[in-house]
Amino acid sequence: MSTILTSKSEGDVERHGDREDDAPYGVIGRVVQGAGTPSERCIELASGDVAGPYHVLDVLSCDVHAGDLFDASLQHRLERSRMVRQGRDMALKYMAMAAHSRFEVQRYLALKRGIPPAVAESLVQSLEQEGYLDDLALCLRLVEQAGMQTHPPGTMALSQRLQRRGLDKKTIRAALAQAGYEEFDGALGQGERKLPELRARVERLLCKKGNSGDGRQELYRLRESLAGFLARKGYGQETVRAVVERLLGD
């Protein structure tokens, strides 16, 4: 009796002999208990060759029975079943540590755990359908958390932060609308704290230019500086305009 195929626990597949990949390996005689753990199964062929070991769940998933043909196609299905099973366990453990987006889970599986991209994509689709992954729910939670900060970020800055987590613009807009996210108070608070520094800076600049007594020039420069500061913080144009008018008049 000779072993023609070994399925390793880490996903490496080792073939023995001089068979071609697309050639049939033989008719399955029976599926037997492996010599290792209770979950192992080996496939005995009518020729006396043995394939395995495989996990019992993969054998059941591929519906392997005596009389079936063990060939490259079945080998591929068994290997894919193993990757899906292990990838799912990896994904669930990863998500148990913290909430993650669909993009983050797929990237983790493909780049960190070596799951083939197509299998990783299929896994996240299944996890979405089962309710384990929900980008809108995650996005809504992150938006609500941002709104509870002492100084809530602007919608533009928040949107960029969420996009870096793989959340798309449509989902972000929906979450912002559903949460009723309001950036005005955060922008007003930041503007009030920054205004004295900006005023002193403008006064020094005008003094150097010999325009220290020009109130209109000072107001114009101050409005421009405050608007630029708030825009860089990620606040939208309407919010910036409203805060500048509140603090410096129209």
The predicted structure's pLDDT at residue 250: 67
Regarding whether 98 and 68 lie in a shared domain, the answer is no
Final residue before a domain boundary, out of 59, 82, 105: 82
Do 68 and 49 share a domain, yes or no? yes
C-alpha distances (whole Å) from 77 to each of 18, 57, 83, 228 are 21, 12, 10, 59
CA distance 144 to 106: 25
Put residue 54 in one of left, alpha, beta given phi > 0 → left and psi -120 to 50 → alpha. Answer: beta
Q: How many domains does the chain have?
A: 4
Residues 122 and 171 in one domain: no
Do 68 and 35 fall within a single domain? yes
Looking at the fold, whether 78 and 12 belong to one and the same domain comes out as: yes
Residue 27 pLDDT: 94
Say whether both 87 and 73 belong to one domain: no
Distance CA 16, CA 94 (A): 36
Last residue of a domain, one of 47, 63, 82: 82
Same-domain check for residues 142 and 168: yes
Tell me the two tokens of residue 221.
């420069």
The pLDDT of residue 29 is 93
Same domain for 152 and 88? no
- Residue 21: helix, strand or coil by DSSP? coil
Last residue of a domain, one of 129, 159, 193: 129
Query: Measured between alpha carbons, how far is 62 from 84 in angstroms, rounded to an integer?
Result: 12
32 and 71 both lie in a single domain:
yes
Q: What residue ranges of the chain have pLDDT lower than 70?
A: 1-24, 209-214, 250
Task: Say how far apart CA 138 and CA 141 lie, in whole Å.
Answer: 5
Name beta bridge partners: 136. Answer: none
Which pLDDT value is given to residue 2? 47
Whether a cis peptide bond, with omega within 30° of 0, leads into 53 is yes
Q: What pLDDT is recorded for position 11?
A: 42
Residues 94 and 124 in one domain: yes
Domain span holding position 165: 135-179
- Can you tell me the distance from the alpha carbon of 71 to that of 26, in angstroms, rounded to the nearest whole number? 7
Question: What per-residue confidence (pLDDT) applies to 5?
Answer: 52
21 and 68 in a single domain? The answer is yes
Are 76 and 55 within one domain? yes
Q: Say what the pLDDT of residue 22 is.
A: 44
DSSP state of 153: P
CA 141 to chain centre: 15
As a whole-number percent, the residues of the chain with pLDDT over 90 amount to: 60
Distance CA 196, CA 173 (A): 34
pTM of the model: 0.73
